[in-house]
Structure 1
C-alpha cells in the first residue's frame, strides 16, 4: 500500500488525507509500515468523542426504544429512536453497539408452547439511516434449536477493523459444539466455527454473551468457566471464572452472574450475598488471564427486596459512575406489565485499591425516562454518535431509511 505514489506525497498532504478517514480506518492503516504508524500516532490523534449512555427498552409485541442521554449530566435526552415490532408475537432486542452502529435482533415466536420461530438480524446506523439485513442463521433439526433462537453478540476487532455478529446456538443439554459467525463487508452467509479447543462446552442461558475488546465471551453452564472467541483468528479459549462465583448458595437472578463491560474490559457481576454485589474485572486476555475485584458494593436490603439491586448490563460503567437498573414494585397485580416501571440510576463510586475494601455510593442520580418509555426490559450500552458507514455485503438486503 505504501508504494512510490504515496512516498512522493509530502507528509502534510498525507496527513490531510488521513484525518478525513474514520478513526477505525486510521487504526488499520497503522499496520502499513512504521512511517505510517508513527505519522498516525503523532499527527492524527484520535478525537476525544464523548461516549453516551444508551438505554434500550424492549417491549413484547409493541415497540422497542433506544434512548441516548447526554454524557455531561446524564439527564438530558439526546436521541430517541423507535423500532416497532413487525408482529404481535415478536420483540426487538439490541444485541450490541459498536462505533455508532446498532445490531438489532427481532424474534417472532409461533403460537403454542414449544413452537418454532422466525429470527431476523439487522445492523443500522440510526444517524445516517443506513441499514443492513443479514440472512437468517442456519438451524439444525435438533429440538432445542428449533424452539430457541440461541444468543447473539455484536463485536468489533480494533486491529482488523472488522465487525462480526456471533450466533451461539444451543443444542441438547445446552451444548455448544460450534458457533456461527457473520463478518460484515466480507461474508454473504454465516460461517461455522467449531469449538474445538474445549469439547463439551455449554452455554448458561441466564447469562447474556458480550463482546469486549475484540473477543466474544459467554459463560459455560456447568463448569463455571468463561468461554472466549477471539474475533481475529476465531479460536475459542476458556479460563476460570472469578473466585466469587464459587461461593455456596443461590445467586439472586436480578443481581448476579452478569457479563458486563467495565471501562472497555470484561467484567463479571456476582451477588455474593443478598445485600452485596461484587464486580470482578479481567486483567489481560492472554494465556493466563487474571481477575481483580474492582468493586464491592453494599445494597440496601429494602432495595433488594423490591428489585432495586439490579446491576445494569451489559454496560456497567460510564465515566466514574456505575449504572444500576431498578424496577418498581407492582401496586396493582391486575395491571401487570413487565413487573413494574424500570428506572436507571447513576452511582458515583471509586475503585478498590489492593483488591480489598468496600465502597459506598456517595452520589446518585436517576436518568429521566417517560413512563411509556420505561415499561419493559432494560439494557444499557455505550454509544458514540458517528456517521460510520455500515459495511455492505453482496447478497444482503440493504436500505436507507429516511
Structure 2
C-alpha cells in the first residue's frame, strides 16, 4: 500500500498475466496502454508460451479424407473438446509450432503449395508466396518448425516424382526473410519419406524407407532423415531394426513408436534417440523406454500429451481418441465428432506469436 492505493509490483503482474488464456489477454488490451504494449513484447510472449506449453498443452484434430475440412477441433488441457472457429476453407494443417499452424490450401484452381501461416487464437493469417516449382512433381511433403538458434520459423517442402524415387527438389521458406530458397539433397538409392515431419530443438525429422532394388519384393531399410533448420543441412540417421509407425517428441528428444509383434508380448514400443557416441561408435544411440501391451492391431499411436500416448483406434469408431498411460496401461477414450476416416492429430499450445513477424 502506498498512500492507501493498492499496488502490485510489475513482476507480480506479469507473472499473473502470463498464466491467463490468450482470449483474456486480447480483451485486456483495452485496460491500459502499458498492458497493450506488454502483450506485444517478445519477452512476455516467450514467457506466456513457455507456461502454455508446460501447463496447458492441447491437441488439434482435423478430419482425414475430405476436400473441405471445415471442422477443426481442440482437445484442451481440461480434456474438453471445442471446435475452432473460422478455419481456412479447404485448408489442411501440415504443421504446428508454438501456436502457429502451417496450412495447405487444397483448392483445385490454387497455385501449387498455396500455403498459409495461421495463429487461430489471435486470428492472424499470413499468406506464403508461391514456390515457383514445376507442377510435374507428383508427390510432396510439407514440414513446419521453429529453430531457436536463429529465432526463425521455416517451411520445408520435399518433392518426389513418385512415392519411391530420388528426392527431386527441396524448397525452404523462412518467415523472418519472407523468401524461398532451394536446398540440395541427393541420395544414390531409391528412397521415400514415409511420415509427416517432427521438429525437435530446431531439427526437422522424417521417417525414410530406402529400397535396394527394383523388385517390389525387395526389403526396405528404415532410416531417419534430419534437416537442421539453422544451417540447412540434411543428415541420414540409422535406427534399430524395428517396424516404425510414427515419429514423436518425448522430453524434448526425438522418439519413434514401433510395432512389437512378438508372440509373447505384442504391443507398442517407444524408442528415444540419444545424441552422443553409441555402442558401435555411431553419433546417435537409441533407448527403448517402454513396451505397452495392448494389441498393436487395435491402437495406432500418434503423439504424446502429458506423458500419455495419444492413439487413434484402428478398428473401432473413428470418432474417438484414446489416451494410453504407458506405466499403468490404463486407457481413456474421448469422443470427438463423427468421422468415418479418422483424424490428423497435432500438438498445440495457444500463443500470442503473430503470424507476420517472428517475435520469440
Tell me by how many angstroms 1:154 deviates. Answer: 0.5
Tell me if structure 2 keeps the 8 A contact 1:58–1:65: no
Closer, same or farther: CA 45–276 of 1 in aligned 2, 3 Å: closer
Tell me by how many angstroms 1:261 deviates. Answer: 2.4
Tell me by how many angstroms 1:56 deviates. Answer: 2.3
- 1:100 maps to what in 2? 99
| Cα deviation code 1:299-324 (max 9, x no counterpart) | 237xx2xxx22112xxx111121111
Tell me by how many angstroms 1:244 deviates. Answer: 2.2
| Cα deviation code 1:267-314 (max 9, x no counterpart) | 11221318422111112279712111112122237xx2xxx22112xx
| Cα deviation code 1:140-166 (max 9, x no counterpart) | 47x5x1x33x00011101232200001
SS of alignment partner, residue 344 of structure 1: strand
Tell me if structure 2 keeps the 8 A contact 1:327–1:343: no
**Aligned equivalents of 2:99, 2:254: Cα separation in 1:** 20
SS of alignment partner, residue 271 of structure 2: strand
Gaps of at least 5 residues in structure 1 are 1-11, 28-43, 87-91, 111-115, 246-255, 330-339, 351-359, 394-402
- 1:290 maps to what in 2? 285
**Aligned equivalents of 2:196, 2:227: Cα separation in 1:** 15
User: Hey, which of these two has a bigger chunk of strand by percent?
Assistant: 2
Matched, 1:270 2:270: no
Tell me if structure 2 keeps the 8 A contact 1:328–1:342: no
- Give the alignment's TM-score, normalised by structure 1: 0.66
Aligned length: 306
- The structure 2 residue matched to 1:126, chosen from 120, 128, 136, is 120
Tell me by how many angstroms 1:139 deviates. Answer: 2.5
Tell me by how many angstroms 1:59 deviates. Answer: 4.2
Closer, same or farther: CA 213–104 of 1 in aligned 2, 3 Å: same
Matched, 1:153 2:143: yes
**Aligned equivalents of 1:179, 1:83: Cα separation in 2:** 28
Tell me if structure 2 keeps the 8 A contact 1:226–1:240: yes
Closer, same or farther: CA 56–265 of 1 in aligned 2, 3 Å: farther
- 2:133 maps to what in 1? 139
- 1:50 maps to what in 2? 56
Matches of residues 3-402 of structure 1 in structure 2 within 5 Å? 21-23=41-43, 47=51, 49-72=55-78, 74=79, 76-81=80-85, 83=87, 85-86=89-90, 92-108=91-107, 118-140=112-134, 143=136, 145=137, 147-148=138-139, 150-171=140-161, 173-176=164-167, 178-188=169-179, 190-195=180-185, 199-200=187-188, 203-222=191-210, 223-245=221-243, 256-273=244-261, 275-284=266-275, 288-300=283-295, 304=297, 308-312=298-302, 316-328=303-315, 341-350=318-327, 361=329, 363-371=330-338, 374-392=339-357
**Aligned equivalents of 1:134, 1:201: Cα separation in 2:** 33
SS of alignment partner, residue 167 of structure 2: coil
Closer, same or farther: CA 45–19 of 1 in aligned 2, 3 Å: farther
**Aligned equivalents of 1:277, 1:152: Cα separation in 2:** 27
RMSD: 3.4
Tell me if structure 2 keeps the 8 A contact 1:24–1:161: no
Tell me if structure 1 keeps the 8 A contact 2:318–2:342: no
Tell me if structure 2 keeps the 8 A contact 1:23–1:46: no
**Aligned equivalents of 2:289, 2:119: Cα separation in 1:** 33
